[in-house]
Amino acid sequence: MKIDAIDHFVITVRDIEATCKFYSEVLGMQVITFGADQRKALTFGRQKINLHEAGKELEPKAAKPVPGSADFCLITSVPMPEIMKHLQGLKIPIEVEPSPRTGAVNKLESVYVRDPDGNLVEISNERP
């Protein structure tokens, strides 16, 4: 077997609307509603983050779904100075200032923030 890409992943959140607001306003993701049960998800590029409300998770689910347990990296072509200006303008606390990191394919320059549930979100520019 060989995996080619990530299609989607799920995060468990306390408040779906607060999560949608953060990811759409801060990170520019699109909020979509799908399925007969009107589920919410965040889309960007060819990827999707499905949202499960804590205590109302859909089956099958992670063994121990809890809000604030995710830690993931997102790549953007927006230059880091613009990212920092945007985050500061929205008064988003910076967890870790821009610093060099290692990504899956390239070196990265990353800044870290937390979403409303405390999930660690790494926002990165790829570097040659």
* Contact (CB, 8 A) for 120 and 71: yes
- Rounded to whole angstroms, how far apart are CA atoms 128 and 124? 13
pLDDT in tens, 57-101: 999 999 999 999 999 999 999 999 999 999 999 999 999 999 999
| Cβ contacts of 45 within 8 Å, gap of 6 or more | none
User: Cis peptide leading into 60, omega within 30 of 0?
Assistant: yes
Token pair for 58 = 């859909």
Token pair for 35 = 């399925």
Token pair for 4 = 């080619």
Q: Which of 17, 25, 82, 122 is catalytic?
A: 122
- pLDDT of residue 128 exceeding 90, the answer is no
Residue 80, helix vs strand vs coil: helix
Q: pTM value?
A: 0.94
Note if 122 is an active site residue.
Answer: yes
Q: Provide the CB-side half-sphere exposure for 42 (13 A, CA).
A: 23
Q: What is the pLDDT of residue 55?
A: 96
Sign of CA dihedral 68, 74, 62, 34: positive
CATH code for the part of the protein at 8-127? 3.10.180.10
Q: What is the pLDDT of residue 24?
A: 98
For the chain, the domains span 8-127
